[in-house]
Amino acid sequence: MSHLNGLSPASSKASSEASLQRVKNLPGYTTPVFKGKEEQRANVQADVAAKGFIPRELVANEVNWFYSQLGIDDTYFQNESPSVISDHIIALFGAKVLAYTKHDLNKLVIDLERIDEKGNGATFIHTSLPGLTSTEGPGATCESRIDSLYLDNSTPSNCYRLETFRSTGSISATASQQLRCYFITKCNFPSPPPPSTRTDGLTDIRTVSDTAFLEKASPHTLEVYQKIIWQVESRYGPVMEVFEVEGTRERRLVIGYKMGGTSRFFSALSNLYHFYQLYSARKYVEQFSNGITIISLYLNPMPNSTGAPIEHSIFQVMKEASLLYCLPDNPFFLDSVNSGHAVQEATYAYCGWVFAQHFCNRLGPAYLHLKNILDESNPLHAEVLNNIKRRFREETFTRESIAQVIHAHAEIIHLLYVNFAMVHYPAADEASQLGPTLSYQRLQTTQPLSDSELYDKIRRTVLNKQDLQVLESFLIFNKHILKTNFYQPTKVALSFRLAPEFLPEIEYPNKPFGMFIVIGNEFRGFHIRFRDVARGGIRIVMSRNKENYSINQRMLFDENYGLAATQSLKNKDIPEGGAKGTILPSLGAPPRRCFEKYIDAIIDLLIPSRNSGTNERHVDLYGKQELLFFGPDEGTADMMDWAALHARDRGAETWWKSFTTGKSAELLGGIPHDTYGMTSLSIRQYVLGIYKQLGLREKDITKVQTGGPDGDLGSNEILLSSDKTIAIIDGSGVLADPAGINREELIRLAKRRLTVAHFDKTKLSKDGYLVKVEEQDVRLPSGEIVLDGTDFRNGAHFRFKADLFVPCGGRPEAVNISNVAALTDTEGKPHFKYIVEGANLFFTQQARLHLEKRKIVLFKDSSTNKGGVTSSSLEVLAGLALTTQEYLDLMIFKDGKPSEFYQKYVKEIQEKISENAAAEFHCIWREHARLQGAKPRTQISDELSTRLNNLQAELEFSDLFDDVPSRRGVMRRAIPATLVDQVGLDALLERLPETYQRALFSSWVASHYISTNTVSTAPV
């Protein structure tokens, strides 16, 4: 607790003097005086009288009161027509009459609005008590409507500026409410923009501003916004500044961020400052044509406030606004009236809620007992276990039931938050001591409990077992957080680096080395790695509908774990262990935005000590530098360039080049798998190995393929092979021809990366056909009617028979223990003789074993398709080994052409892929023959991977690495000669991080030792 106790009142005050920016007590905007106001008033009075709803003797008084006593800004009168104003006055009078009949003038509700039908803007006016969030009436929904209608989907070509004022007068002599007026107008950016007056290359605010804003903004406001714009341009997250108004207690909070960076933020900010008993006199939202939004709040303390003084609370508002930016519609803060949760506590509750959804132990002792009784190698038993596991996950703890527990135990959640904050609250330094004051004070008012004391209190307080389990999961969450960006002010999503020891062995038998959980407003994501130095793709999991999203949400971590574990098996003979990241966007959320926030939030925890763009430290209980290597996967292939460049912008000078693989070759020196057929080269070695071992001629082989000519694996499989392909199934449909699909036409599609839907049907034989997913009631040459093209496509891999099946695409677990029997005919004869699994996880483990029992020669994914990981590993090595200048010179194309070094390096990678794949094929084939088929190849492949990984782990920290001559000898062989010749071995050993060198050393020694011996050979 020492890092929290270091803040004295004196140092706090000194810090406030140093960090506060003062402005003169002048309006930030000038409201043009409406010269036609009196003439308009006369016209309005005549119109009100003519409409006849208000008694004539009261008309002049009502109009005068509306124009002179309410304190409505001239902007309103200038924007509205006399007819609209007269309607508003009549509506106001009617509301007063209604309130009178209820004998309570404080029930007076005014709700006036005008929305322009052509989309040019809107006006909203309603009654409002200062400093309170309305829970009923128009004020309860007005700002959230403004968010959804005008602010959330802003783009430079379609955006709105907003001005909102509180009237200075009350709505009547007997009612205390004031009027809140919102004026929304569509931005008008001059085209072409005015020329810049700057000579330093920085953005000139006058060239990107709306014309109305330039007319109204004071010189000082232009200066402040100019600086905010520059800061926003230089970072990914929000920028926040506080200004003290001289001679008053007013504080102005200015927030800048990139359009689309958050949603429902404007309305959430009102809830935030109301929580601290502040009210806003004026608020502005300005948009700029370079894609930047700036919100400005003029905040004052409520009269007779019992909250903290605004001089302190404003900094807490600023700090918590950064959390709101990440989670603006957090249900645990929206309920703060009942729960009393501040934003920090509510955000913690939200993160714990997400954690509990994934990690409450949902299986329990009953499942474990059943698992011990049943035989998982028996397909029927395995199916029963899978169904029970799925049912447990669906029914034990739902999102709703966990949320109810959190709402019901606000005091316990508060204690759990304090337990978290006592560890992870950053120690104040001289430059930022005032910022944490209120958080610090809140923590001081609660006696912090030790983990055991807190556990005892939860156990004594919570009697319901399920409630207890949910709250215990929060304590587990706290105990396993090694670092987090929770308290950093510029984040765009929340990230936590977790120690994975809490994962139950019954569900996750192989313990990961490390894991991250990332939580954003429109997504959640994980990253799991099985060794310190590890690499794997980042996958975006898209959902078709609400039900599908719910399933994806439940299964996200398990899918991530399975993919990372498979990657670990596949990465057995490269330095990097297996890793994988998954991102689940909410329905309708832009996938790219989710990816960018995910990357930025993880980088927050990779950059040591201080984050780029902020002076705020995070508490690092891990205490070591971490290197993560990301690659492309489903939905992220075109995002790797951005991630690498963003890492460089964030200050990752030494590792931005290796941070992602799959970068574009020409711009960033990446080595694309598809262009050079990297993954297909390894798959091909297994196909050729089968042909060679069994004496088969490729031209005589019939083949079925999933994954079409539009994909990486599918296109290269077509281009590299010369077999008789009888069926191809891809996302667009099913192409089949028992006579063999016309190879020239297939090659045309593969070279142009087109789906089978583009196949020229005139090239089909009389028995051939193409069924597209959008088609219905299609008659096949056999006379069979296909009712629905999508359903036909989804099950097409079960209907064809051929010698060889090569899945090059498709969803994980497409063939599982429940449907694998469909790959055999009524007599039990398999549809295929040989299967080379190119697509990841196309078969479940039980399905593979089931097929091998039926004498199918099957090679699983973790052995066959590792060519891509080998290529990516050597792309990482180049990024780590070359300086930035060398990388620019050697890896990035000049005039669209690769350097000689790049071409030689790619050729060496291709040779290494073929060599590694052939060596592993022969190792598995040899072991299977030695055991006379007693052990399936699937099991041999897994044992080979496990043996290699275990041997690598032993070697990595053995004294063999410390023997310098041995180490140099291994490194000279392990690093491609092209790189050694270019840089020199001594320079390479100086540049490569020691953790990476150990991993490279151990992987080379282990793979060469095993490949020259049998899988079961004991290590020496």
Q: Quote the tokens at residue 392.
A: 């447990």
pLDDT in tens, 645-669: 999 999 888 899 999 998 999 999 9
Q: What whole-number distance in Å separates Cα of residue 293 and Cα of residue 285? A: 7
pLDDT at 2: 33
Predicted pLDDT of residue 1013 = 66
| Rounded-to-integer distance, Cα 421 and Cα 145, Å | 35
Q: Is 151 helix (H, G, I), strand (E, B) or coil?
A: helix
pLDDT band at 382 (very low <50, low <70, confident <90, very high): confident
* Per-residue pLDDT reduced to its tens digit, 871-883: 999 999 999 999 9
| Cα distances (Å, whole numbers) of residue 562 to 103, 511, 974 | 66, 12, 29
**Low-confidence winner among 73-82, 347-356, 535-544, 595-604 (lowest mean pLDDT):** 73-82
DSSP 8-state code for residue 608? -
Output the pLDDT for position 391: 65
Q: How many residues does the chain have?
A: 1020
How far is residue 353's CA from residue 409's CA, in Å, rounded to a whole number?
13
What is the spatial order of strands in the sheet that 534-540 belongs to?
A: 481-484, 494-498, 514-519, 523-529, 577-585, 534-540, 628-632
HEC string of 537-588 equals: EEEECCCCCHHHHHHHHHHHHHHHHHHHHHHHHHCCCCCCEEEEEEEEECCC
Tokens 């592993």 belong to which residue? 920
Residue-level pLDDT at 73: 73
Q: How many CA atoms lie within 13 A of 592 on its CB side?
A: 7
Helix, strand, coil proportions of the chain in percent (round to 5)? Answer: 50, 15, 35
Widest Cα–Cα separation across the chain: 110
Dihedral pair phi/psi, residue 122, rounded to 5°: -165, 160
Check whether 420 has a pLDDT greater than 50: yes
Tokens of 518: 């990332």
Dist. CA 725–CA 164, nearest whole Å: 67
Q: How confident is the model at residue 432, as a pLDDT?
A: 42
What average pLDDT does range 973-991 have in this prediction?
A: 96
**81-123 confidence digits (pLDDT tens):** 899 899 888 988 887 787 777 665 556 677 778 888 899 999 8
* Whole-number percent of the chain with pLDDT over 90: 61
Q: Looking at 217-325, which runs of residues are DSSP E strands?
A: 239-245, 251-258, 278-288, 292-301
The packing angle between helices 845-853 and 379-395, to 10°, is 170
Structure tokens at 775: 């088609």
Q: Which residues of 513-527 are buried (b: 16+ CB within 10 A; e: fewer)?
A: bbbbbbbbbbbbbbb
**What average pLDDT does range 400-429 have in this prediction?**
88
What is the CA angle 138-142-147, rounded to 5? Answer: 165
Name the nearest CA neighbour of 922 among 902, 911, 937, 907: 937
- Token digits for 908? 């060496």
Q: What pLDDT is attached to residue 57? A: 92
The predicted structure's pLDDT at residue 170: 57
Distance CA(415)–CA(340), nearest Å, equals 13
Q: Which two tokens stand for residue 955?
A: 């070697």
pLDDT confidence band for 403 (50 / 70 / 90): very high
> Position of tokens 């504080």?
251
| pLDDT tens-digit readout, 918-934 | 999 999 999 999 999 99
pTM summary value: 0.82
Confidence of residue 613 (pLDDT cuts 50, 70, 90): very low
Cα separation, 71 vs 119, whole angstroms: 28
The percent of residues above 70 in pLDDT, for the chain, comes to 88
Three-state SS for 763-801 is: HCCCCCEEEECCCEEEECCCCCEEEEHHHHHHCHHHCCC
Question: pLDDT at position 438, please?
Answer: 52
Is pLDDT of 380 > 90? Answer: no
Mean pLDDT lowest for which of 490-504, 562-576, 865-879?
A: 562-576
Lowest mean pLDDT among 356-360, 401-405, 503-507, 903-907: 503-507
pLDDT at 436 over 50: no
Name which of 281, 289, 284, 227 is nearest 258 in CA terms.
Answer: 289
CA 216 to chain centre: 39
Tokens of 831: 């549809």
Is residue 485 helix, strand or coil?
coil
Phi, psi of 189 (to 5 degrees): -100, 120
Residue range 245-265: mean pLDDT, rounded: 93
Residue scoring higher pLDDT (669 or 1013): 669
- State which amino acid sits at residue 839: A
Residue showing tokens 């009168």: 77
SS3 759: coil
Across the range 764-768, mean pLDDT stands at 97
pLDDT at 810 over 80: yes
**Residues forming a β-bridge with 111:** 126
Answer yes or no: are the C-beta atoms of 127 and 177 closer than 8 Å: yes
Kindly list the catalytic residues.
580
What is the DSSP annotation of 711-757? SHHHHHHHHH--SEEEEEEETTEEEE-TT---HHHHHHHHHHT--GG
User: Under the phi-then-psi rule, with left for phi > 0, alpha for psi from -120 to 50, and beta for the rest, what region is 589?
Assistant: beta
Strands in 860-900 per DSSP E: none
Which 3 state secondary structure label does DSSP give 913? helix
Q: How many whole angstroms separate alpha carbon 125 and alpha carbon 166?
A: 10
Of residues 854, 801, 802, the one with CA closest to residue 828: 854
What tokens were used for 160?
């709105």
**What is the tens place of the pLDDT at every residue in 21-54?**
887 877 788 776 788 899 999 999 999 999 999 9
Encode 998-1015: b = buried (16+ Cβ within 10 Å), e = exposed: bbbbbbbbbbebbbeeeb
Residue 569 to residue 241: CA distance in whole angstroms: 49
Burial class (CB within 10 angstroms; exposed 0-12, middle 13-18, buried 19+) of 1: exposed
The owner of tokens 């020691």 is 994
pLDDT of residue 241: 93
Lowest mean pLDDT among 268-282, 436-450, 998-1012: 436-450
pLDDT the model gives residue 341: 72
CA distance linking residue 407 with residue 152, whole number of Å: 28
pLDDT confidence band for 169 (50 / 70 / 90): low
DSSP string, 39-88: HHHHHHHHHHHHH-SS-HHHHHHHHHIIIIIS---HHHHHHS-HHHHHHH
User: Bridge partners of 778?
Assistant: 786
Residue 392 has pLDDT above 80, yes or no: no
Query: What pLDDT does 890 receive?
Result: 97
Q: List pLDDT tens digits, range 304-337.
A: 888 888 988 898 899 899 999 999 988 888 765 5
The answer to whether 139 touches 161, Cβ cutoff 8 Å, is: no
Average pLDDT in the chain:
87
pLDDT, one tens digit per residue, over 172-220 is 554 556 778 898 999 999 989 999 989 898 999 999 999 999 988 999 9
- Which residues face 217 on adjacent strands? 29
Q: Is the pLDDT of residue 909 over 90?
A: yes
Element containing residue 438 per DSSP (H, E): helix 437-444
723 φ/ψ angles, rounded to the nearest 5 degrees = -80, -170
Q: Is the pLDDT of residue 967 over 50?
A: yes
